[in-house]
Amino acid sequence: MERLQNLLQQLDAAQVGARMFALMERLYPICRSITGQGVRQTLDILQESLPLVRSEVPTGTPAFDWTVPNEWTIRDAWIKDSSGVCIVDFKRSNLHVVSYSIPVHRRLGLRELKEHLHSDPEHPDWIPYRTSYYRETWGFCLAHQQLLSLQEGEYEVCIDADLRPGSLSYAECVIPGASPSEVLLFAHTCHPSLCNDNLSGVVLLAALGQYLRRSQLQWTYRLVFAPATIGSITWLSRNQGHLGQIKAGLIVSVAGDPGAITYKRSRHGNSLIDRAAANIVCQGEKPGTVLPFSPWGYDERQFCSPGINLPVGRITRSPNGAYPQYHTSADNLDLVQAEHLTDSLQRIMRILCVLESDRRYLNLSPFGEPQLGRRGLYQMMGGYTNIGALQHALLWVLNYSDGLHSLLDIAEASGMDFQTLLHAAELAEQSGLLSPGPLSLDLCTISGSELPTYGHTT
């Protein structure tokens, strides 16, 4: 096995992007919701490449202030006009039906029908995505221009569906590392044919899991695939005794559109994952955006609720609701591109590399600047593309390695790339100039008195 940073350097961007996009194409037609066969079918496909442990939580199970709802099963749905022509067909687009619609089969006039129709006047060619998880009703979604074209007359509507006791499905993949302390990675599985919001996070997490399984890891990684909100709340309620093991986490979604990468901080605001993500997101040719925490968005608001308060942030490209195609039929395979999926994957892998590598060092020659040439450090830089940056990094690392500052601290102070500082620290360690201290996630359980520091000298 290799270190994650080595696998990142070897990553074939075109190949991994094509694999993620192919998986998305396969998952795209499936009608998913917060429960039901669509979620199970999605997990079946993911299980072909990841060793998932699956859970079925029965209807009626309490989950904090919530209860697992009835399971929704849909077989078909349509609207026919007075001449019997099918004008809205679930088989053409699973977005045509309001998710969790109760069964219905009846005839009604246009005025009454319109009370159950949903469209988006701002985007008249797109079908909107609507849900009714916790209110028993039914409805159809259609393009606004089609809604405007409907003529007076009698219509026949049919939603062949069931709402019955069943279960909520979620799955986990635990990838063990040297420490039992965990990094949580979460993607929601509850949306139907929507590519960026839902499937991009699913396929990215599936690809990331395969790289993590090939890596020699310091930390244990727990990948969770579950429905949004009720899924994460149910998972949290069933794992309360385990939450102390989780030291960092990321919610992954909206990862394939052309927008710049965006990180939303956890409720902690300045936890290790917040600092690592902010450092990586703001680096590179296309720096992204870092947002403060807010109690609105995806499942980060569940993991960051006051009674849970885990250091779990969210990474996306465009934030949810901040791109025109959000929750419409235009969030399709034309919107998402393999190159954006790959860039998102690489950014997340870089963030995890910080978690894997960040530690405090102790300078073993702290009195004045040590002589680098005598130790062969300049020769050890051979093959590095930017010698000046590496020399600069060596000076930063040696100066700040007092047992109190980590590499991430030094990256923030210097504005330098974390990987360059890591390489400099490894060279200095090999030359006997640095002694490594605990990894940063370990510092959550180490008191300040246990950290190495220099005594006063006179």
Residue 191 is labelled as binding a ligand:
yes
Concatenated DSSP letters for 125-191? TS-B--B-TTS----EE--HHHHHHPPSSEEEEEEEEEEES-EEEEEEEEE--SSS-EEEEEEE---
CA atoms lying within 13 Å on the CB side of residue 268: 17
What is the Cα–Cα distance from 276 to 274, expressed in whole angstroms? 6
Written as one letter, the residue type at 221 is Y
8-state DSSP, 97: B
Residue 96 is labelled as binding a ligand:
no
CA 345, chain centre distance (Å): 10
CA 329, chain centre distance (Å): 22
Q: What are the b/e assignments for 338-360, b being 16+ CB within 10 Å?
A: bebbbbbbbbbbbbbbbbbbbbb
Decide: 226 and 186 in contact? Cβ < 8 Å: yes
What is the Cα–Cα distance from 323 to 313, expressed in whole angstroms? 20
Backbone torsions φ then ψ of 14, nearest 5 degrees: -65, -40
Residue 327 is labelled as binding a ligand:
yes
CA atoms lying within 13 Å on the CB side of residue 135: 7
Block residue for tokens 């009626």: 60
Strands 182-188, 246-252: pairing is parallel
Block residue for tokens 């901040």: 322
Nearest CA among 64, 56, 50 for reference residue 36: 56
252, β-bridge pairs: 315
Summarize the annotated binding site as residue ranges: 191, 197, 327
Summarize the annotated binding site for Zn(2+) as residue ranges: 191, 197, 327
